[in-house]
Amino acid sequence: MGLCKLPNYDIGGTIHFITNNNVGFTTNGKDSWSSWYASGIANCYEVPVLHINSFDLDSLIWACKFAVKYWQTYQKDVLLDMIGFRKYGHNEVDEPGFTQPLMYKKIWEHDSVATTYSKLLL
Look over the chain and give the mean of its residue pLDDT values, rounded to a whole number: 83
Range in 10-24, 27-41, 65-79 with the lowest mean pLDDT: 27-41
In a domain? residue 7 = no
In a domain? residue 42 = yes
In angstroms, what CA-CA distances link 21 with 5, 8, 87? 28, 34, 9
| pLDDT surpassing 60 at residue 24 | no
How many independent structural domains does the chain possess?
Answer: 1
Q: Which domain holds residue 113?
A: 15-121
In a domain? residue 2 = no
Spatial distance between the Cα atoms of 70 and 77, rounded to a whole number of angstroms: 8
In a domain? residue 41 = yes
Quick one: pLDDT at residue 67?
Answer: 97
In a domain? residue 114 = yes
b/e code 83-109 from CB counts within 10 Å (16+ = b)? bebbeebeeeeeebeeebeebbeebee
pTM of the complete model: 0.78
